[in-house]
Amino acid sequence: MNWEQIFHEIKQQYDYSALDEFLENEYATKTIYPERENIYNAFKFTPFESVKVVIIGQDPYHGPNQAHGLAFSVMDGEKLPPSLRNMYQELESDMGIMRQTGELTGWAYEGVLLLNNVLTVRAHEAHSHKDIGWEQFTTEIVKAISQYKENVVFILWGKPAQKLIPLIDTSKHKVIKSVHPSPLSAYRGFFGSKPYSETNAYLVEHNKAPIDWGREDKQ
């Protein structure tokens, strides 16, 4: 199985012409993030056969030079957003790893699918592309990973991401969940949750190479 086959299966089930038309108009008339060629970077940088971990975000960052198609990641050289800063704080506490850049392409190359629930957004308008069809698509992606792969770790931070749990076959996959790393909730159970070491312990237990969470490849 590969992403192309999975996309084809999904498009056989659902009609995305309305989503395509909406995006065509939005990109033509407004500032939309990420750049159109970067929308599917999560799949480009992490081939289906390489997926070992799935981290679910909500929608892309809506400021300039931030979103580039990977959940939680910002373009190299950009200031760390608050949630990512907290993710790094927990990574240092959990595994002693200090990261310098907010670009997570290295994680993607390690087999971490950094998938936002919604893949596009208008500039400075959070959640502006909610309910236009992306959620159905990304839900099907999660279902396909659950169905066609084994021993994948799903890291689900916050209630929106945790709504996907019923789609995951927990008899053959691992779900790690906690509150979101956002400053609004991180102190209610994200800090100290050790998701990175728990992920690696599970992968090693199932004869997979652990994730190098310190890897800092650039796009």
Check if the beta carbon of residue 187 is closer than 8 Å to that of residue 168: no
Q: Is 57 helix (H, G, I), strand (E, B) or coil?
A: strand
Residues belonging to the active site: 59
Instruction: Give the DSSP letter string of 105-161.
Output: HHHHHHTEEEEESS--EETTBTTTTTTSSHHHHHHHHHHHHHHH-SS-EEEEESHHH
Residue 34: cis peptide before it, omega within 30 degrees of 0: yes
